[in-house]
Structures are given as C-alpha cells and as structure tokens.
Amino acid sequence: MGMNQTPASERVHIGFFGKRNAGKSSVMNKVTGQELAVVSDVKGTTTDPVYKAMELLPLGPVVMMDTPGIDDEGALGGLRVKKSYQVLNKTDAAVLVIDGKAGMSREDQALLERIHKKNIPSILVLNKRDLLTEEEVCQTLSSLPEGYQEGKDYLWVSAQEGTGVRELKERLAVLASTEENQKKIVGDLLSPGDFVVLVVPIDKAAPKGRLILPQQQTIRDILDADAVSVVIKEDRLKETLESLGKKPRLVITDSQVFGRVSKDTPKELLLTSFSILFARYKGNLETVVEGARTLEKLKDGDKVLISEGCTHHRQCGDIGTVKLPAWIRKYTGKNLEFSFTSGTEFPDELGEYSLIVHCGGCMLNEREMKYRLSCAEDQGVPMTNYGIIIAYMNGILERSLEPFS
Ligand SMILES: Nc1nc2c(ncn2[C@@H]2O[C@H](COP(=O)(O)OP(=O)(O)OP(=O)(O)O)[C@@H](O)[C@H]2O)c(=O)[nH]1
Ligand SMILES: [Mg+2]
C-alpha cells in the first residue's frame, strides 16, 4: 500500500445484499463504473464476497463489497448465506437490492430486520425498473414496509439502463456521512475547569519515551473539553489527591493497577479505567460488561478463548497466556479449558466457547474489533476484554461504572 492510500480501516465500507439474480453485482458495477463482479442470469453467480477498494465520488475512499445471494440453498448455499451475513458486520452502509418485478420477499424482510438491529444505515434498491409496467410498479411498492419514502428509504434503479444510479450514489454519500461520530472519550462528562487525575503506571510494559495511544487520546479529549488533566504514576495518587485543593471530577486508571488505585481513591470520588472509557467510546460497554458477568455461570470443562490483537508485545502475551487463565481459574474455582489466538487469526466458528476474552485491541483497528464482537454476538457467545474482566474479578467493576450511570 502506498503512503498516500487510505488504509482499509478508514474507508467507508458499502455492502450490496439481496437474493440471487436480484442484480447485486450489476448494480455495484454500475455504481462503480467498473466491471468488478461477474454478472449472469444463472442464479448464484457470486459465490464469495468480492471486495474492491476505490475512490468513489461523491463519497471518497470506499470499499465496495458484493455478496452471494441470501436465499442460496443446500449445504454450500447455506455457507454462502452465512458469509453474506458476516459481511454485514463490516458494513457501514448497506444496499439491499431487490428484483423490482418480484418485490420484497421473506428473505429480504429478514435481512432488513438484521440491518436495522445492527443500526447500519441502509437503502432499498428496486432494480430492473426497465422491465416493469406502471401497474407492476404499484404492486411492488405495496410490498415495502409501511411509510417508506422514495429517495430516502428506497430508489428505483435499472442497472441495465443506468437509471437511478446517480441518485443512489448521492444517497450513499449521505448515509455514510451520518455514521461519522461526534463521540467523546470522557469530554461529555466534564465541565470547563474540571480536574481529572490520570493514573499511568510506568513499568516494563510501557513504551519508551511516550504514552500509549489511548492515554494520549484521553488527554486530548480532556483538553478539548477545556478541563485539566493531572497525569501521575500510581504511587503518587494519595498525596496528589490530598494536595490538589479541589475535588477532581474523575480518576482514570490503567486497569493493571486497579486494585491499588481503588484503595487510594476515597469512596466519594468517581473512579474508572481507560479500558472502560474506550469500551464506552466504541459502543461496546454493555456487551463487554455482560461478558464479564458470565464468569459466574462457567462450569467445569467449559472452553474459554483468549484472543489478542498483537503478536509481538510480549508483556501483553504474559497477561493473556499466563496471568489471565490463572486469575480466571482462581476466581471461578472451575476446571476450564483455555484456547489462545493472536494477531489477525480469529476463528469463524465460535460456538464451542462459553466466553471470549479479548485484549483491548490496541493493535487492531476499531473496525476489526467491532467485527469480532458482532460475530460473537451473532453466535450467542459472550465476549469481554482484559480490562473489564480484571476490574470484575477485583470486585471494582460496579464502582468503575458509576460515572456513567
Ligand atoms: N432487464 C434488466 N436485467 C437486469 C438488470 N440488472 C441485472 N439484470 C440481469 O439480471 C441477472 C442477474 O444479475 P446479477 O447482477 O448477476 O445478479 P446478482 O444479484 O449478482 O446474482 P447472484 O450473484 O447470482 O446472487 C443478469 O442476467 C443481469 O443481466 C436490470 O436493471 N434490468
Ligand atoms: Mg452476483
């Protein structure tokens, strides 16, 4: 990848979904102006998701994703449908392509429900307009959900003749931009002039000469809120709190020194951790808290997957492969079976696990993290992360959630 290219993680991912032969590949080709995907009148032409990174006006850098039909049949077909549904977990804006003549089907309804459940901005494309009479147009419109508006919720398109394609691109640009966030890490909890104490242990795990990214981002967020950050090591906490002269709005700590910091922070002060702030920032807090609570339900013989984003950070490795399994065994008192993955490897099939514990994901981009969480959720497997499960086992998760209640 060249220096000037946008990494895949920062590109808007646009997915085309729908039944076989609806014209997904045709519509995508028309939108991009390129013959990216094979088109034919044989049902099930697209058998694997197709990804293509490109510049698309008026959207900018995108990844276009074509998928197999959601109504494919047989054992192999079933696997393809599953793949298409997994692509949803990477999608920022979804195009549901429907054969205009056939109207909306049960499979389309189910897919649309899933898209809504995942809060993915979407548009229905009624394709093959060239084949329809006015009467058939009315018939198809009556198969759409109540209150659907042309231009906003659905569009008529003919991939064959190229009509409606410009409107579709414009609508996609709107959908993709509303997704972008005005989210805050902590700034929404602060007023101008508030003090925030950040506890940053400087141990072997700390990188040389700098702070790690989540710490930098938090300090920046506090500056943006016009508040004051006081950054200290854990052994200075007590004296700092005593000499501050003003009650801090919040104490934020690294999870590794949670136990000590919780003891040194008077009960009337709010305390939380970087991992909790970031889980909230990424919209995962509820999921990972729920995940930690399933520790109570684990039984002898249950399998736990410990998964890290980084492959090279040895310190992280020690926590994942040595400390965490020992702590979890001790906390639950159960005879558990642990599996480990690292880096980009992450199993497709998660069903055998009773719990997944993922590292904070410092080396993984947010999109990949979100994808993994969504896959676990789809398969009904609870997932949590290192910081949250450590706080839980130390008995201070509830206290650390107070700032957000
Ligand atoms: N008349 C007409 N035919 C179209 C239109 N769009 C697609 N087709 C035809 O419909 C057939 C299926 O198109 P594809 O783009 O391969 O459909 P798909 O949804 O990708 O199908 P699978 O990959 O099999 O799931 C092809 O024969 C296309 O030429 C259209 O707007 N009008
Ligand atoms: Mg296709």
CA-wise closest residue to 284 among 373, 222, 362: 373
**What pLDDT does residue 203 have?**
81
CA-wise closest residue to 356 among 346, 364, 368, 367: 346
pLDDT in tens, 202-211: 987 778 899 9
CA dist 372 and 160 (Å) reads: 37
The mean pLDDT of 306-314, rounded to a whole number, is 69
Identify the weakest region by mean pLDDT among 59-73, 176-190, 296-310, 321-335.
Answer: 176-190
The pLDDT of residue 6 is above 80:
no
Q: What is the mean pLDDT of the chain?
A: 90
Q: What are the structural domains of the chain?
A: 3-176 (3.40.50.300), 187-277 (3.40.50.11420), 288-397 (3.40.50.11410)
CA torsion 82-87-92-93 (nearest 10°) is -70
Strands 12-18 and 250-253: unpaired
In the chain, the amino acid numbered 221 is D
> Which residues touch 57 (CB under 8 Å, ≥6 apart)?
169
CA dist 136 and 188 (Å) reads: 51
pLDDT in tens, 7-40: 666 688 999 999 999 999 999 999 999 998 999 9
DSSP 8-state code for residue 321:
I
Ligand 2 centre distance from Cα of residue 37 (Å):
7
For ligand 1, is residue 365 a contact (CB within 6 Å)? no
Extract the tokens encoding 124: 């229905």
> Which residues touch 248 (CB under 8 Å, ≥6 apart)?
194, 195, 196, 197, 230, 241, 269
**What pLDDT does residue 310 have?**
66
CB 386 within 8 A of CB 360: yes
The mean pLDDT of 292-316, rounded to a whole number, is 83
Q: Which atom of ligand 1 is nearest to the CA of 26?
A: 15
Residue 160 sits at φ, ψ, to 5 deg, of -65, -50
* Mutation test residue for ligand 1: of 19, 20, 36, 39, the one with most atoms within 8 Å of CB: 39
**What pLDDT does residue 363 have?**
61
For ligand 1, is residue 44 a contact (CB within 6 Å)? yes
For ligand 1, is residue 25 a contact (CB within 6 Å)? yes
Q: State whether the Cα torsion 346-350-354-355 is positive or negative.
A: positive
Q: Which atom of ligand 1 is nearest to the CA of 127?
A: 31
Q: State whether the Cα torsion 43-374-362-348 is positive or negative.
A: negative
Q: Which atom of ligand 1 is nearest to the CA of 46?
A: 23
In our burial notation (b when 16+ CB lie closer than 10 A, e otherwise), range 101-139 reads: bbbbbebbeebbebbeeeebbbbbbbbbbeebeeeeeee
**Smallest CA separation from ligand 1 atom 12, residue:** 21
**What pLDDT does residue 405 have?**
78
Match 């399933």 to its residue by tokens: 294
The mean pLDDT of 234-259, rounded to a whole number, is 94
pTM surpassing 0.75? no
pLDDT in tens, 116-146: 988 899 999 999 999 999 999 999 999 999 9
Ligand 1 centre distance from Cα of residue 132 (Å):
15
CA-wise closest residue to 94 among 173, 157, 174, 15: 15
The mean pLDDT of 50-67, rounded to a whole number, is 91
For ligand 1, is residue 403 a contact (CB within 6 Å)? no
For ligand 1, is residue 164 a contact (CB within 6 Å)? no
CA dist 211 and 236 (Å) reads: 18
The pLDDT of residue 315 is above 60:
no
CA dist 43 and 38 (Å) reads: 12
Do you know the residue count of the chain?
405
The pLDDT of residue 213 is above 50:
yes
3-state DSSP assignment of residue 298: coil
CB 85 within 8 A of CB 114: yes
pLDDT in tens, 168-189: 999 999 988 765 556 789 999 9
Extract the tokens encoding 341: 């993955």
pLDDT in tens, 336-351: 999 998 877 888 899 9
23: left (phi over 0), alpha (psi -120 to 50) or beta: left
The mean pLDDT of 287-312, rounded to a whole number, is 90
3-state DSSP assignment of residue 251: strand
Peptide bond into 58 cis (omega under 30): yes
